[in-house]
Chains A and B, each alone.
Chain A
Amino acid sequence: MTTASRRALLLALVALPAAARADAALEAAMREAVGPAEPEEGGMALRLPALAENGAQVPLTVTVDSPMTAEQHVVSIHLFATRNPTPGVASFHLSPALARAEVQTRIRLAEDQQVVALAVLSDGRVLRATAETRVAVGGCLG
């Protein structure tokens, strides 16, 4: 975590306890998925609708720029919802048998929020991509 993001988290802890708890859960889930590596922006596209009519079924496509060879491929892709009751969405484990590093799925979103994708590459690098989605009707039955 950078000094700036640590300071932001600290401020959030003072101002908004519930939001800070959610941020802490998100941070912990991301660390568990990808370890201590600092994610790099770029090299990956995360596509969601800008406005999801139904938060219970939101289509998502994640694509990583990768040749998917034995030497150079995507090992895993992890999806997180920043404002759901719990942050975990799914983790995908890929292999060089895949023609490309792309997965399409459908997720649930409780409210307007940012979705985060982290990809772990075979060389140990971690990529990060985000997408903002507005949700007309929340998908967590809350």
Chain B
Amino acid sequence: MSSGLAQPRIRIPRSARAGEAIEIRTLMEHPMESGIRGANHAAVPRNMLSRMVVRMNGETIFAADLRNGTAANPYHVFFVRLQRSAEFEFVWTDEAGRSVRATARVAVS
């Protein structure tokens, strides 16, 4: 997907046991420029990611709406319990509607 957005970095195990909780860490390089400088709320052009969506086997399992208080290079850690092998899809979208997508597979034995 050509978007001008950076490639996200995702840390997720390649395999897990059935019923095990796995930790997923995501880091998306982005300035998260709110445009705010002191009392001036439009000091520089705004450039913000607005949403991250995580799907497991096509179903949304976690999503984040990101607002001004989210730090640059949005970083998220969350925990998923797997019963069977799963395909994960991660999508970040900015306020201009551009998006970037990444995928990962976790094999459950």
Residues in chain A within 8 A of chain B (CB atoms)? 56-58, 68, 79-81, 84-95, 97-100, 102-109, 139-142
Known: A90-B64, A92-B62, A141-B36. A98 touches B80 (CB 8 A): yes
Docked CA distance A68–B79 (Å): 11
- Complex formed: what's the CA distance from A80 to B65 in Å? 12
Most buried by A among B65, B67, B74: B67
State how many residues of chain B have any CB contact under 8 Å with chain A.
32
How far apart are the CA atoms of A90 and B63 in the complex, in Å? Answer: 10
Given contacts A90-B66, A97-B61, A99-B21, contact A58 B71 (CB under 8 A): yes
Asked if residues A105 and B59 are in contact (CB atoms below 8 Å), the reply is no
B69 touches A81 (CB 8 A): yes
Q: Which residues of B contact A104 (CB under 8 A)?
A: 75-78
A56-B36 Cα distance, complex, nearest whole Å: 13
Q: B41 contacts which of A57, A85, A93 (Cβ < 8 Å)?
A: A85
- Please give me the residue from chain B that is nearest to A86 by CB atom: B68
7 new A-B contacts at CB < 8 Å, known A81-B69, A86-B34, A99-B79: A95-B62, A98-B61, A100-B79, A105-B70, A105-B71, A140-B34, A142-B36
Contact A97 B81 (CB under 8 A): yes
B86's nearest neighbour on chain A, judged by CB, is A97
B77 with A103: CB separation less than 8 A? yes
Once the chains are docked, how many angstroms separate the CA of A86 from the CA of B70? Answer: 11
Q: List the A side residues contacting B37 at CB < 8 Å.
A: 141-142
